[in-house]
Chain A
């Protein structure tokens, strides 16, 4: 009976498991296997062991792309978290106006990366873009966001923040609505200022949401790709080449599939390590939640 039941249960899960195996497990293992070979799109390739990894370790372009990836992640995640939280706090109210603005701020999230980068090309172009014109109107020299080595990553960050602010805002709104109203009433009777209420009541109450947002965004931004490829093509002179753009160029530009797979495995391990570190550093996730 029991084994039969297990068998039936497995049947229900089978469609998902099959899909999961084909589109996730297999490519993962295949990538691992490829990373040990020197292989291009045609021909069998040959086994090089950890040769690809050794080459990566000494490849300055890969090194720079990793540094770029960390830098842009550090630019995006804290700012994105704070901005989406502020938006959620401002829009966490009933009424048509707030609902309309929630829709507006979420709208950018449904656009594809192609459209987003197209829009921001216009925004950032120094000679004709909105930012450039604004700078000029103020009597300043327009900043060459897309062609300056020091401004390319910030340009990616600004574009990404604008694009991704909707979803974290939604998560924060959901978190804020979980906070029981009577806690705010108790705080009011405890003579807590708005500032104290925010720091001592609201923020600890949405701690779990905050952790979730930071972890999701970190993992997402470490894989930043489309903006880098379409906005600056990794330039100028590699200043905005991210790790995923590097492996894309290796795989589909130079057809070094094994080398690109090795880079992908390294990035995978880095993301895994960062995420697990965040998870452990924030302690038991259930610690701050209310039980009533």
Chain B
């Protein structure tokens, strides 16, 4: 039985649609990331699940119980807020115990749960401090602790890492991954950071334009993007998209670029639709190389990342392309360099933006 089920959830703020018939199924113990740009509706969807917003239509089911008409406190859901939303006048211990007291739990049970959570999160020494006596990272642990002690049926994390500095963010990411191993309930995290989503999530839900664009495992999202939005939003720097024409014949689609060069893809020709097509190439599949060069580009910028260099250039017909070169690249701005596009890793997108990929391995 799925743990969480969303059926056709729609929401408008005034005349502005925010969510349009969103449906999703989350399994027991799954870690789900809602990934999307700001305004994609991901936070609103999380808040609807939590009960902090109400959907205009659609249903939310949790463990076989319809919850979308229940008040937030009766849904069996715990949430870690982006700003942590700790109660400033209460100690960490009181913060964690507050929900349990409201649920009328015995005080021995409350103590036991708070102590357990404090040990797991290594926050025992902080329990008698107030939030303004703690660092950002410590406050976040308390906020996570406050969610843990409730033993909820579902964890919601709203941008959990966005308020932390880079070093702490990495450490917390590891800790969240460990946390996921400990809890029985599924976890849903909202983020706009794809690296966070890729490292933590079992499945990523990519959202844009009030709708779910794709649901899949991280590598599936990366290697088989459902459409041009997912293709360009996931992966950094973004995938290059080039308008192409389909050439005749062959088991796999061969396409012609605007400058006349051809790329042999591994996308089965049979699935490629007629009409307008775009070729999708990730930077790592377009290398600066003399051997087996496909096309040429005029270099506009070289970005040295240490372990590799990124070359931003323009093809003969003026279209931008991002390619990769070795760390000690000798390419300079203004050079015309040969580019070898690895057709076996390329993607095709139809006029409607839908992606076509090589057969799954």
Contacts and interface: CB of A to CB of B under 8 A. Distances in A.
Contacts of B234: none
Contacts of B117: none
A196 B52 contact: no
Given A191-B99, A204-B89, A185 B52 contact: yes
Nearest to A197: B102
A191 B131 contact: no
B88 A189 contact: no
A209 B201 CA distance: 45
A180 B83 contact: yes
A292 interface: yes
Contacts of B131: 290-291
B72 A201 contact: no
Interface stretch (B73-81, B174-182, B255-263): B73-81
Given A188-B52, A192-B102, A201 B73 contact: no
Interface in B84-113: 85-90, 98-99, 102-103
A187 B83 CA distance: 14
Nearest to B75: A189
A191 B149 CA distance: 14
Contacts of A292: 83, 88
Contacts of A59: none
Given A183-B87, A186-B87, A192 B132 contact: no
A185 B72 CA distance: 9
Given A200-B98, A288-B89, A291-B88, A189 B83 contact: no
Given A189-B78, A192-B102, A182 B88 contact: no
A192 B79 CA distance: 15
Contacts of B52: 185, 188-189
A52 to B, nearest CB: 48
B72 A189 contact: yes
Interface in A164-192: 180, 182-183, 185-192
A205 interface: yes
Contacts of B87: 183, 186-187, 200-201, 204
Interface string A180-224: 101101111111110010001100110100000000000000000
A290 B99 contact: no
Nearest to B139: A292
Contacts of A204: 87, 89
Given A180-B83, A183-B87, A189-B50, A291 B98 contact: no
B71 interface: yes
A282 interface: no
B160 interface: no
Contacts of B88: 205, 288-292
Contacts, number: 73
Interface string B9-25: 00000000000000000
B89 A182 contact: no
Interface residues of B, number: 25
B225 interface: no
Given A182-B83, A189-B79, A196 B72 contact: no
A208 to B, nearest CB: 11
Nearest to A188: B72
B99 A189 contact: yes
A186 B73 CA distance: 9
A188 B89 contact: no
Nearest to B133: A291
A188 B131 CA distance: 20
Interface string B333-359: 000000000000000000000000000
Contacts of A185: 50, 52, 72, 81, 85
B85 A180 contact: yes
Given A183-B87, A290-B88, A291-B131, A191 B79 contact: no
Nearest to B79: A189
Nearest to A186: B85
Contacts of B72: 185, 188-189, 191
B51 A182 contact: no
Given A182-B81, A288-B88, A188 B132 contact: no
B98 A190 contact: yes
A252 to B, nearest CB: 49
B85 A183 contact: yes
Nearest to A287: B89
B312 to A, nearest CB: 40
Nearest to A185: B52
A27 B78 CA distance: 62
Contacts of B132: 290-291
A191 B89 contact: no
Contacts of B90: 200
A188 B71 contact: yes
A155 B87 CA distance: 42
B129 to A, nearest CB: 12
Across the A-B interface, give the 8 residue pairs with the lowest CB-CB distance, nearest first: A191-B73, A190-B99, A290-B88, A291-B132, A204-B89, A182-B85, A186-B85, A188-B72
20 contacts: A180-B85, A185-B52, A185-B85, A186-B85, A186-B86, A188-B73, A189-B50, A189-B52, A189-B73, A189-B77, A189-B79, A189-B99, A190-B102, A190-B146, A192-B99, A192-B102, A200-B98, A204-B89, A290-B131, A291-B132
Interface of A: 180, 182-183, 185-193, 196, 200-201, 204-205, 207, 287-292
